[in-house]
Chain A
Amino acid sequence: MQDRDRAGHAAAPRRALLGGLAAAALSHPALARPTLAQGAAGARPLRIGMITSLSGPFTALGESMRAGMNLFLAGSGRAVAGRPVEFLVEDDAARPEEGVRRARKLVGQDRVDVLCGVISSGVALALRDVVTEARVPTFLLGSANDLARKAASPYIVRPTKTNWMLGTTAARWTFERISKGRVLTAGSDYAAGREFVGDFAATYRELGGRIDRQLWTPLGSTDFGPLLTAIAAERPEVVYAFFAGSDAVRFLRQWKEYRLAGRVPLVGPGALFDQEDVLPAVGDAALGAVGAFHQSPTAPAAAAFGRAYAATGKPLPGEFSTTGYVCGQVIGAALERAEGDLSDWERARAVLFDRPVDTAFGRMPFDPRNGQAILDIHVNEVRRGADGKMVNTVLHTYEAVRDPGPAA
């Protein structure tokens, strides 16, 4: 009893002190709510909310995306078109229902002016209706084909690729330069894997090529031994594979362990050989492999971004750091062109799509039908760089690849 009394006495002044601190903080101009600052400071700050995966299977990718956006904001002095920028990040844990909850929080509670981000296509598709109903301009970075087709929305801008763009260009390259038959495909058995492999197979067959076997393995496979043994027994001329993140690392390491590296040509979407998230962890297992990608550290447009990224102590950038940066560039361009005011979104959207935006992915025109970027797709070969590290090196570029969009 006595103890509790003593604790009670001790707590009272502490509570008073905390209350005082809170009051002091609220009256401090820098911490005051943005609405209060409106008249005094001139322009009201622009609030950008990002939803990305900071836990769950895409953690590394989400961290890269956030780092890319932060680099853009730091480079622009945290102000665009004369408006200071506030940047808020929420974690969707790669779960659609969590993403929707976070989006509602950012829109309803934090009153963001612009939403951006998202890695998982599941989250991106779940957010489509939420942002369309709330009429919030959203720069959505998931890559499911439907985002540029059935699920396109006038409030969504897509400054990144669709899966189709990478699947179809990989098929063209494979057919023209590597082999016209005896292709084996191997993929992660989930939505993105089905799209990459399906679009590859469709284009390859249209061109007249033959696909011998298609193998699938569950997302998050711990052991690729059974799959690789099946591939080794099949002895195909080319393997087209799609795996991402930790699956890509395991697949490539085991690809080498089972002595397939260097014997069977390996083609994939660039995510399988991501410069930042995959290549540093697989040694020389991917040497000589070819990936179709909208991002390459050796593409001329990416040079300035690559230098800025390296200056922050990071390695060569991969897809998601570049995507985060490009997303910032496109939001910046939208704001510049609309003279800092996105409240009339219809007009802002029209002037944004009026002419291409110069980004780290290159010159980026937009398809006004669905807000989808039209991108140059590079064919990257994994080569040994001057310092012995593996680098995605541009072999060829398919220019201005445009998703069929609503026509598909």
Chain B
Amino acid sequence: MGLVLVQFLNALSFSALLLLTGLGLSVVLSLMNFLNLAHGSFYLLGSYVAVLWLGAGLPWWMAFPAAFLAAALAGALLERFPFRGFYGRPHLMQVLLTYGLSVILADLMRWGFGAAILSPELPEALSGVVFVLDMPFPVYRLFLVAAGTLLAGLLWWGLDRTLWGAVIRAAVADRGIVETLGIDTGRVLAAVLVLSAGLGGLSGALGAGMLAAYPGLDEEVLILALVTVVVGGLGTFRGTVAGALAVGFALTFSRVWLPELANGAAFAAMALLLMLRPDGIVAPRQRQV
């Protein structure tokens, strides 16, 4: 019983990590229809910032806002040039641009942070365990679950329930009409991209405690995030949450029950899901004017 429960918690914490990485990607994709393959680079940048921050002995909780700001700054610079010119272009062009950028960013980070595998010094408060029916479970993973839930909640509230969220959604639906209301939509879209980059960095900081940081992690994370977003359903917020849970539980329990075929079994299940529901678990409402 304890074993099953802890495996359930393992799956939940892995889902939280997937949710954190998927959120940033899904925000630009669903709100701006912009496919950003450089998202993994923002994640890795956040990881490195958090590792260095924690290693320097500064207050540990500040590592997360620092990572958010660093990645958001990188996002703001890249938004000015060259992302801005590609919002209206087809996905293929965006893929070429952002994939190329991710390769350049990976080289820059290897040059700046070195090729060694780095991992953060977690504070006392986060490095303990709780015992679940006699089985140890790390506190850090509970922290991940809490952070993932909180961030997803905040984002949902901000985009779905506030005036700012309404402006963003309107700017995506019909830019022209929003412009006639006297709102600079260029700025709105820039803000969304910066937010997405910041979320990438923040998830990197949170994920570093579980995945460490090293060259090549950006691609691994990007693939997991893409799978999460696609399985959940492109363009919906609830979809990303559903996708993260589906992928997290499939990968964890395939490892428990079929360890030798783990990846194959999990991805076969996801492929089957996509064949049954080609638009993902939660199909987006078609917003058309």
Q: Chain A: residues with CB nearer than 8 A to chain B?
A: 55-57, 59-60, 63, 189, 215-218, 220-223, 225-227, 229-230, 232-233, 245-246, 249-250, 253-254, 257-259, 277-278, 280-283
Contact between A259 and B129, CB atoms less than 8 A apart: yes
Residues from 216 to 230 in B contacting A, C-beta threshold 8 Å: 216-217, 220, 224
Q: Please, which residue of chain A has its CB at the minimum distance from the CB of B257?
A: A226
Contact between B118 and A281, CB atoms less than 8 A apart: yes
Mask, B113-153, CB within 8 Å of A = 1, is 00111110100000101000001111011000000000000
Closest 6 CB pairs of A and B: A225-B10, A257-B138, A259-B136, A226-B255, A60-B115, A281-B119
Contact between B210 and A218, CB atoms less than 8 A apart: no
What separation, in Å, do the CA atoms of A282 and B255 have in the docked complex?
Answer: 24
Determine how close the nearest CB of chain A comes to the CB of B239; give it in whole angstroms.
Answer: 22
Contact between B119 and A253, CB atoms less than 8 A apart: yes
Question: 7 A-B residue contacts at CB 8 Å?
Answer: A63-B115, A223-B10, A233-B135, A249-B117, A250-B210, A257-B127, A277-B117
Check: B256 CB closer than 8 A to any chain A CB.
yes
Check: B48 CB closer than 8 A to any chain A CB.
no
Contact between B214 and A216, CB atoms less than 8 A apart: no
* Residue from the set B127, B224, B259 with the largest chain A CB neighbour count within 10 Å: B259
What separation, in Å, do the CA atoms of A171 and B255 have in the docked complex?
Answer: 26
Contact between B115 and A59, CB atoms less than 8 A apart: yes
Q: Please, which residue of chain A has its CB at the minimum distance from the CB of B121?
A: A283
Determine how close the nearest CB of chain B comes to the CB of A344; give it in whole angstroms.
Answer: 39
Determine how close the nearest CB of chain B comes to the CB of A263; give it in whole angstroms.
Answer: 10
Contact between B129 and A258, CB atoms less than 8 A apart: yes
* Residue from the set B117, B118, B220 with the largest chain A CB neighbour count within 10 Å: B117
What separation, in Å, do the CA atoms of A296 and B216 have in the docked complex?
Answer: 28
Write out the residue numbers on chain A whose beta carbons fall within 8 Å of the beta carbon of B119.
Answer: 249, 253, 281-282
Write out the residue numbers on chain B whose beta carbons fall within 8 Å of the beta carbon of A221.
Answer: 255
Mask, B98-121, CB within 8 Å of A = 1, is 000000000000100001111101
Determine how close the nearest CB of chain B comes to the CB of A170; give it in whole angstroms.
Answer: 22
Number of residue pairs A-B, CB distance < 8 angstroms = 105
Contact between A56 and B216, CB atoms less than 8 A apart: yes
What separation, in Å, do the CA atoms of A306 and B82 have in the docked complex?
Answer: 47
Write out the residue numbers on chain B whose beta carbons fall within 8 Å of the beta carbon of A245.
Answer: 117, 214
Write out the residue numbers on chain A whose beta carbons fall within 8 Å of the beta carbon of B2.
Answer: 233
Determine the interface band of chain B, counting residues with CB < 8 A from chain A. 35 or more
Contact between A222 and B220, CB atoms less than 8 A apart: yes
Contacting A223 at CB < 8 Å: which of B121, B217, B251, B260? B251
* Residue from the set A221, A223, A245 with the largest chain B CB neighbour count within 10 Å: A223
Mask, B231-273, CB within 8 Å of A = 1, is 0000000000000000000011101100110110000000000
Write out the residue numbers on chain A whose beta carbons fall within 8 Å of the beta carbon of B110.
Answer: 59
Determine how close the nearest CB of chain B comes to the CB of A227; give it in whole angstroms.
Answer: 7
Q: Chain B: residues with CB nearer than 8 A to chain A?
A: 2-3, 6-7, 10-11, 13-14, 17, 110, 115-119, 121, 127, 129, 135-138, 140-141, 210-212, 214-217, 220, 224, 251-253, 255-256, 259-260, 262-263
- Given the known interface contacts A229-B135, A257-B129, the answer about A220 and B115 at a Cβ–Cβ threshold of 8 Å is no
Contacting A250 at CB < 8 Å: which of B115, B129, B211, B224? B211
Contact between A258 and B136, CB atoms less than 8 A apart: yes
Determine how close the nearest CB of chain A comes to the CB of B243; give it in whole angstroms.
Answer: 16
Write out the residue numbers on chain A whose beta carbons fall within 8 Å of the beta carbon of B255.
Answer: 217, 221, 226-227
Write out the residue numbers on chain A whose beta carbons fall within 8 Å of the beta carbon of B212.
Answer: 246, 249-250, 253, 281
Contact between A277 and B116, CB atoms less than 8 A apart: yes
Q: Please, which residue of chain A has its CB at the minimum distance from the CB of B253?
A: A226
Write out the residue numbers on chain B whose beta carbons fall within 8 Å of the beta carbon of A55.
Answer: 215-216
Determine how close the nearest CB of chain B comes to the CB of A68; give it in whole angstroms.
Answer: 14
Determine how close the nearest CB of chain B comes to the CB of A275; give it in whole angstroms.
Answer: 12
Q: Please, which residue of chain A has its CB at the minimum distance from the CB of B106?
A: A55
19 further contact pairs, Cβ within 8 A, besides A225-B252, A230-B3: A55-B216, A56-B216, A60-B117, A63-B115, A215-B259, A216-B259, A218-B263, A220-B220, A222-B220, A223-B17, A223-B210, A223-B252, A226-B11, A257-B138, A258-B138, A259-B136, A280-B116, A281-B212, A282-B119
Contact between B117 and A226, CB atoms less than 8 A apart: no
Determine how close the nearest CB of chain A comes to the CB of B97; give it in whole angstroms.
Answer: 21
Contact between A233 and B3, CB atoms less than 8 A apart: yes
Q: Please, which residue of chain A has its CB at the minimum distance from the CB of B252?
A: A226
What separation, in Å, do the CA atoms of A283 and B2 have in the docked complex?
Answer: 29
Contact between B116 and A60, CB atoms less than 8 A apart: yes
Contact between B7 and A232, CB atoms less than 8 A apart: no
Contact between B141 and A246, CB atoms less than 8 A apart: no
What separation, in Å, do the CA atoms of A246 and B215 have in the docked complex?
Answer: 10
- Given the known interface contacts A57-B216, A258-B129, the answer about A222 and B224 at a Cβ–Cβ threshold of 8 Å is yes
Write out the residue numbers on chain B whose beta carbons fall within 8 Å of the beta carbon of A216.
Answer: 259-260
Q: Please, which residue of chain A has its CB at the minimum distance from the CB of B219?
A: A56
Write out the residue numbers on chain B whose beta carbons fall within 8 Å of the beta carbon of A232.
Answer: 135-136
Contact between B14 and A223, CB atoms less than 8 A apart: yes
Contacting A225 at CB < 8 Å: which of B14, B117, B121, B217? B14
